[in-house]
Amino acid sequence: MNPAERISELTEKLNYYNHRYYMDSVSEISDQEFDMLLKELENLENQYPYLKLPESPSHRVGGTITKNFASVEHRYPMLSLANTYNEQELLDFDERVRKGLNGESYEYICELKFDGISLSMTFENGVFVRGVTRGDGVKGDDITNNVKTIKTLPLKVKIPPSITTGIFEIRGEGFLPYSSFEKMNAEAEAAGEESYANARNAASGSFKLQDSAEVARRGLDAYVYQFLSDEEVFATHEESLIALKNLGFNVSQTWQKCHTIQDVIEYIKEWDEKRFSLPLATDGIVIKLNSIAQRAELGYTAKSPRWAIAYKYKAESKPAILKAVTYQVGRTGAITPVAELDNEKRNGKGIHLSGTTVKRASLHNANEIERLGLRIGDTVFVEKGGEIIPKVTAVDLSKRDMFNTQEIVYPNTCPECGAPLTRKDGEANHYCTNEKGCPPQIRGRIEHFIHRKAMNIDSLGEGKIELLYEKGLVKNITDLYDLTYEKLFGLEKITEDETTGKVRKVGFKEKTVQNILDGIEKSKQAPFKQVLFGIGIRYVGATVAEKLAGFFKNIDNIKAADYETLRTAPEIGDKIAQSIIEFFQVEENLELIEKLRNAGLQMAAQDEVKVIEGDQLVGKTFLYTGTFINFEREALEQKIEANGGKVVSGVSGKLDYLIVGDKPGSSKIEKAKKLNVKMISEEEFMAMLG
């Protein structure tokens, strides 16, 4: 490949990864791999400047603004940071600073590099008015309502007296603490939804949700690390950090002043392991010049300040012995192979990696085992980078001993129930075929049934369900409604955590029993859409269940619907329709529904109470495109309907009004123009309401 081809390939790849990372909150490769590719591109571009492409990611901040929020121009651009993974480049940075300051003395402030998303928070007269993402560095998404869910962010503070304009801005990192991240992923898994690979992606995805109530539930937090205003308020960064803390902002107390680059290197070493005891993900250290005046002397490149640099920790990789492969069975029957690992002394203590003990790592599926070419007894490399879940990255073939290692034979029967496994075309996982009798599948279905978006019985959980199942009290979801105080009181189970060895006791005393029974009783009031989700028809997630409930109104209509009728419901495609038909063909499923009905569960949708505000829009149809200042999408639809109007799903000649917001969709606009549909602004719409 010649340089031109490589430059074009790297540009395209990096732009793609940037898009996935910033828009979709997904990392398809590790940060380290990304940074290496970017460095390679930068080197090539320096060598062959005339080959640099206009869309090159090398001189731009990586993010973009989205269509889902109003976009806001930053008062001060939000830049990135230069980064490095090695000490020499840190020394080079120090050398550049020294030269740039012409012999003046200087000092650094070191901070941890928190791994979340940058936030800009504006205060006017001491009141928090706006929270914005970094976006493309010039403009960002207005996510004020989501930022407001951060409990540690004071919404009103005293303003420093030297600020005459009344306006100042705070910058910080919005993040999801590990504890919230784990909780959120456990819930997502229970609901059969996709989980995030790491806390940074989960934070990024959460800050960009439309529903602020859901954002609030996720438990986001933020650390504040920068103060900006038109007036010069602080002479040093240190002063500003102390002042921010005193004003009530959440400033991580892990920062430190360093007088030399050697002190900086000490700080880096100190936090290499210690950072894993922090409640959030960190991926490095940020080194910043302390003096604000000296910062101005050094200035900026197009992408980052010259007075700061990020040192990023390399993902730690360690050898381990693959003792065995075990197989886990999930709710859907999917089999996951797991590597059982130990250290090279084989003393059962596992390996110590990035602050935690590792004894197991997921191998995902049979293909992955094949790709890695694993044998039992191999020495393998285990890595834990930004992801908190360790992974096996390769076999150390130099240590391979053919006589003392064994081939891995993928099982063809279920390790839990012995039933045969199948693997559908195009699927990576094997599945246990014994849907009705396989214990983890049964327990999984019950866990799904009590999920927050289903029957919402939060007084039950995994451990309790396991106990009820083992005692033979609950073998399927309908058994929950036969539980009584007598059956539950006094049940007990002691479990030992395999990795930590911690002993945990689940015991049912008076209060626990009462809570469980109350929770079950309350679930009888859960709306039909939640019941429909809870019974666990394949492919019928919470959203599909809501659509079905809204369209068919009750379970009998759904049961009676044939394929064509099902397909007329909104967003019900072939796969879902087939799955519903199949579900209602099974006799046991029909019995299950009758039992739930007899237990008193809601099998029909209650008529929604429609709010009526006026009749100004009666007889008129509306469609909207873009984002609006006064409404989220749902609120806008409600407003139209509450005033007698109707929201339609596409532009047609019959459409009366297209309401055009910020960043409208071009296809809707074009179609509306062609069909002469009247287009109105948000203000004009408000005026129609009178």
Ligand X SMILES: NC(=O)c1ccc[n+]([C@@H]2O[C@H](COP(=O)([O-])OP(=O)(O)OC[C@H]3O[C@@H](n4cnc5c(N)ncnc54)[C@H](O)[C@@H]3O)[C@@H](O)[C@H]2O)c1
Annotated binding site for Zn(2+): 414, 417, 432, 438
As a whole number of angstroms, the distance between CA 147 and CA 407 comes to 52
Residue list for the binding site: 31-35, 80-81, 111, 134, 173, 288, 312, 414, 417, 432, 438
Asked if 83 is part of the footprint of ligand X (rule: CB under 6 A), the reply reads yes
How many angstroms separate the Cα of 365 from the Cα of each of 185, 316, 396, 513, 514? 20, 24, 21, 40, 42
How many angstroms separate the Cα of 225 from the Cα of each of 90, 99, 249, 275, 434? 21, 27, 9, 17, 54
* 524 annotated active-site: no
For residue 101, the one-letter residue type is: L
Query: Residue 130 is inside which H or E element, if any?
Result: strand 127-133
| Residue 457 · residue 450 · CB < 8 Å | yes
Site string for ligand X, 485-524 (x = CB under 6 A): ----------------------------------------
Site string for Zn ion, 422-441 (x = CB under 5 A): ----------x-x---x---
Q: Pick one of ligand X, Zn ion, none as the site partner of residue 442 (Cβ within 5 to 8 A by kind).
A: none
Q: Pick one of Zn ion, ligand X, none as the site partner of residue 114 (Cβ within 5 to 8 A by kind).
A: ligand X
| Residue 265 · residue 90 · CB < 8 Å | yes
The DSSP result for 480-533, as a single string, is GGG--HHHHTT-EEEEE-TTT--EEEEE--HHHHHHHHHHHHHGGGS-HHHHHH
Site string for ligand X, 408-437 (x = CB under 6 A): ------------------------------
3-class SS of residue 624: strand
Residues 645-684 that bind ligand X (CB under 6 A): none
Asked if 615 is part of the footprint of ligand X (rule: CB under 6 A), the reply reads no
Site size with ligand X, rule: CB under 6 A? 24
Stretch touching ligand X by CB under 6 A, among 20-28, 45-53, 360-368, 606-614: 20-28
Handedness of CA 270, 272, 276, 279 (dihedral sign): positive
Nearest C-alpha neighbor of 94 from the set 116, 110, 70: 110
Q: Which phi and psi (to 5°) does residue 365 adopt?
A: -165, 180
Residue nearer to ligand X on the CB measure, 300 or 539: 300
Asked if 421 is part of the footprint of Zn ion (rule: CB under 5 A), the reply reads no
Asked if 82 is part of the footprint of ligand X (rule: CB under 6 A), the reply reads no
Asked if 143 is part of the footprint of ligand X (rule: CB under 6 A), the reply reads no
Please compute, for residue 163, the number of CA atoms within 13 A of its CA located in the half-sphere on the CB side: 17
**Minimum distance from residue 282 beta carbon to ligand X (Å):** 8
CB 122: neighbour CB atoms within 10 A?
Answer: 19
Nearest C-alpha neighbor of 177 from the set 308, 324, 81, 278: 278
Q: Which of 93, 108, 114, 313 binds ligand X (CB under 6 A)?
A: 114
Stretch touching ligand X by CB under 6 A, among 109-117, 150-158, 353-361, 444-452: 109-117
Residue nearer to ligand X on the CB measure, 144 or 198: 198
Nearest C-alpha neighbor of 35 from the set 396, 392, 386, 391: 386
Asked if 74 is part of the footprint of ligand X (rule: CB under 6 A), the reply reads no
Cross-strand partners of 212: none
Longest Cα pair distance anywhere in the chain, in angstroms?
A: 85
Residues 6+ apart with CB under 8 A from 623: 647, 648, 649, 650, 651, 655, 657, 658, 659, 668
**Minimum distance from residue 114 beta carbon to ligand X (Å):** 4
Residues 291-310 that bind ligand X (CB under 6 A): 310
| Residue 504 · residue 498 · CB < 8 Å | no
Asked if 335 is part of the footprint of Zn ion (rule: CB under 5 A), the reply reads no
CB 508: neighbour CB atoms within 10 A?
Answer: 20
Residues 357-416 that bind Zn ion (CB under 5 A): 414, 416
Q: Which phi and psi (to 5°) does residue 453 adopt?
A: -85, -5
Asked if 133 is part of the footprint of ligand X (rule: CB under 6 A), the reply reads no
**Minimum distance from residue 415 beta carbon to Zn ion (Å):** 8
Asked if 460 is part of the footprint of Zn ion (rule: CB under 5 A), the reply reads no
| Residue 237 · residue 109 · CB < 8 Å | yes
As a whole number of angstroms, the distance between CA 289 and CA 81 comes to 13
Q: Pick one of ligand X, Zn ion, none as the site partner of residue 679 (Cβ within 5 to 8 A by kind).
A: none
Residues 170-209 that bind ligand X (CB under 6 A): 173
Q: Which of 51, 70, 81, 642 binds ligand X (CB under 6 A)?
A: 81
Q: Pick one of Zn ion, ligand X, none as the site partner of residue 118 (Cβ within 5 to 8 A by kind).
A: ligand X
Q: Pick one of Zn ion, ligand X, none as the site partner of residue 602 (Cβ within 5 to 8 A by kind).
A: none
Q: Which of 10, 11, 18, 651 binds ligand X (CB under 6 A)?
A: 18
Stretch touching ligand X by CB under 6 A, among 13-21, 360-368, 432-440, 582-590: 13-21
**Minimum distance from residue 368 beta carbon to Zn ion (Å):** 21
Q: Which of 7, 10, 11, 17 binds ligand X (CB under 6 A)?
A: 17
**b/e map 371-407, b = 16+ CB within 10 Å:** ebebbbbbbbebbbbbbbebbbeebeeeeeeeeebee
Residue nearer to ligand X on the CB measure, 80 or 478: 80
Q: Which of 113, 384, 453, 668 is catalytic?
A: 113
Asked if 35 is part of the footprint of ligand X (rule: CB under 6 A), the reply reads yes
Active site residues: 113
Contact residues for ligand X (CB under 6 A)?
A: 17-18, 21, 27-31, 34-35, 61-62, 80-81, 83, 111, 113-114, 118, 134, 173, 225, 286, 310
